[in-house]
Amino acid sequence: MEKKDLDWASLGFGYVQTEQRYVSNFKDGKWDEGGLTTDANIVLNECAGVLQYAQTCFEGLKAYTTEDGRIVTFRPDLNADRMYTTAQRLEMPPFPKEKFVEAVKAVVKANAAYVPPYGSGATLYLRPYMFGSNPVIGVKPATEYQFRIFCTPVGPYFKGGAKPLTLCVSDFDRAAPHGTGNIKAGLNYAMSLHPIVEAHKAGYAENMYLDAATRTKVEETGGANFLFVTKDGKVVTPKSNSILPSITRRSLMIVAKEYLGLEAEEREIYFDEVKDFAECGLCGTAAVISPVGKIVDHGKEICFPSGMDEMGPITRKLYDTLTGIQMGRLDPPEGWIVEIK
Ligand SMILES: *Cc1c(COP(=O)(O)O)cnc(C)c1O
């Protein structure tokens, strides 16, 4: 298979149309057989449920080339699980988990020419999503849905090394207790656009959201979970029912314990404690870990001892180990790496 002639290392995080995508339709109470198509466009009725009441959800995962030249994805079964839970919360018919993983494999295989080569730092980003497609005007769930997966090659997240970010504590809330913060719904992102545009205008890379009920506990940013390292080398991450269960974060907690022999704990984290941590990072599929150097709370600065030049030492070990597993340089735990044949 001949690779596309793309300048992999200078790709950004944007949409590059590839050849094939997967489509399946839900109608009369069941999902159809589903399959690949070359048609990148969707034609919808003007009254489609997704356009009126935002009945839509998504996932994100990557395919890449390992050191020994295999094309793999990372824990796609967890994306299937999470989308299943998300769909249930939004009264959408969950897409069968096994079919989800098969569809991921089919899309990657059909677009293998777009999977960036090992060492380029680029990856193939996959976007599964689902939406209500039939006309809905009274407020109720749609009765017809479309599930799709497209893929797009994306460049290295950090061009020229990972520089620590500066965040600000947001005055907005991301998610209500007992709301939709724990599912990957488009609606959580629509409402985060105004806070992130404001934060960028003020010179910050991301917002740190606190719990909406008491504004004393750390939640997450608009699209990544927090991970902290204590001064005695323990990895801690916020526990909350209103944050999205990041697959990267859950994997890093296992890496911390099983590969690095560190203590790792998921617990409530009070904002007051943040100033005492040694390192801070943001976890998500896009960057694996983005180091955080500084958090500004209404003019008061919290500067982590790891500084503004590079990742903290434990964050670095976590990053190197997880990316080593993903790129086939280290032995993975059972089931983490799914090869596309
Ligand atoms: C997708 C997402 C994450 C990261 O999850 P991963 O599974 O690690 O990619 C974190 N927070 C929010 C709000 C998200 O939507």
pLDDT in tens, 260-312: 999 999 999 999 999 999 999 999 999 999 999 999 999 999 999 999 999 99
Instruction: Collapse the DSSP code of 166 into the 3-class scheme (helix H, G, I; strand E, B; otherwise coil) and give the result.
Output: strand
In ligand 1, which atom is closest to the CA atom of 61? 9
Q: Quote the ligand 1 centre to 5 CA distance (angstroms).
A: 31
Angle at which helices 247-254 and 76-89 cross, to 10°: 130
Q: Are 250 and 261 in contact (CB under 8 A)?
A: no
**pLDDT the model gives residue 112:** 97
Q: Are 243 and 278 in contact (CB under 8 A)?
A: no
Nearest CA to ligand 1 atom 13: 223
Q: Are residues 183 and 312 both part of a single domain? A: yes
**pLDDT the model gives residue 162:** 83
C-alpha span between 58 and 223 (Å, rounded): 13
Which residues have a catalytic role annotated? 184
Q: What are phi and psi of 28, to 5 degrees?
A: 50, 40
Query: What are the pocket residues of ligand 1 if the criterion is a CB atom closer than 6 Å to any ligand atom?
Result: 60, 184, 220, 223-225, 244, 246-249, 283-285
**pLDDT the model gives residue 84:** 98
In ligand 1, which atom is closest to the CA atom of 59? 1
**pLDDT the model gives residue 18:** 97
Q: Are residues 135 and 192 both part of a single domain? A: no
Residue 168 confidence (pLDDT) above 90: yes
**pLDDT the model gives residue 1:** 76
Q: In the chain, which residue ranges form alpha helices assigned H by DSSP? A: 49-53, 76-89, 97-110, 186-190, 193-201, 247-254, 313-326
Q: Are residues 202 and 141 both part of a single domain? A: no
Q: Are 141 and 92 in contact (CB under 8 A)?
A: yes
Q: Are residues 95 and 238 both part of a single domain? A: no
Q: Which tokens is 171 given? A: 């005055």
Q: Quote the ligand 1 centre to 248 CA distance (angstroms).
A: 8
**Would you call 48 exposed, middle or buried from its count of C-beta atoms within 10 A (0-12, 13-18, 19+)?**
buried
Q: Quote the ligand 1 centre to 285 CA distance (angstroms).
A: 7
Q: Are residues 298 and 195 both part of a single domain? A: yes
**Residue 230 is assigned to a structural domain of this protein:** yes
Tell which of 111, 132, 154 closes a domain: 154
Nearest CA to ligand 1 atom 15: 223
In ligand 1, which atom is closest to the CA atom of 285? 9
Q: Are residues 109 and 172 both part of a single domain? A: no
Pocket test for ligand 1, best of 61, 78, 82, 184 (most atoms within 8 A of CB): 184
How many domains are contained in the chain? 2
Pocket test for ligand 1, best of 244, 251, 254 (most atoms within 8 A of CB): 244
**pLDDT the model gives residue 2:** 87
Which CATH number characterizes residue 242's domain? 3.20.10.10
C-alpha span between 16 and 129 (Å, rounded): 17
C-alpha span between 166 and 328 (Å, rounded): 32
Q: Quote the ligand 1 centre to 136 CA distance (angstroms).
A: 29
Tell which of 107, 132, 154 closes a domain: 154
Nearest to 224 by CA among 64, 60, 62: 60
Q: Are residues 109 and 184 both part of a single domain? A: no
**Residue 240 is assigned to a structural domain of this protein:** yes
Q: Are residues 75 and 139 both part of a single domain? A: yes
In ligand 1, which atom is closest to the CA atom of 78? 7
Q: Quote the ligand 1 centre to 58 CA distance (angstroms).
A: 11
**Residue 195 is assigned to a structural domain of this protein:** yes
Nearest CA to ligand 1 atom 14: 223
| Residue 44 CA neighbour count, 13 Å, CB half | 19
Q: Quote the ligand 1 centre to 194 CA distance (angstroms).
A: 19
Pocket test for ligand 1, best of 125, 157, 285 (most atoms within 8 A of CB): 285
Q: Are residues 249 and 113 both part of a single domain? A: no
Task: Write the CB contacts of 66 (distance below 8 Å, at least 6 apart in sequence).
Answer: 72, 118, 327, 328, 337
List strand residue ranges (DSSP E) for the chain, in order: 21-27, 30-31, 35-37, 56-58, 61-65, 71-74, 123-132, 145-154, 165-169, 206-208, 225-229, 235-238, 264-267, 279-284, 288-297, 300-303, 337-339
The per-residue pLDDT for range 38-74, each reduced to its tens digit, is: 999 999 999 999 999 999 999 999 999 999 999 999 9
Tell which of 100, 135, 154 closes a domain: 154
**Range 119-132 average pLDDT:** 96
**Number of neighbours of residue 310 by Cβ within 10 angstroms:** 15
Q: Are residues 282 and 234 both part of a single domain? A: yes
Q: Are 97 and 87 in contact (CB under 8 A)?
A: no
**Residue 333 is assigned to a structural domain of this protein:** no
Q: Quote the ligand 1 centre to 243 CA distance (angstroms).
A: 9
In ligand 1, which atom is closest to the CA atom of 284? 8
Nearest CA to ligand 1 atom 10: 224
**Would you call 265 exposed, middle or buried from its count of C-beta atoms within 10 A (0-12, 13-18, 19+)?**
middle
Instruction: Print the domain residue range for 317.
Output: 165-326
Q: Are residues 139 and 210 both part of a single domain? A: no
**pLDDT the model gives residue 158:** 76
* Averaged pLDDT of the chain: 96
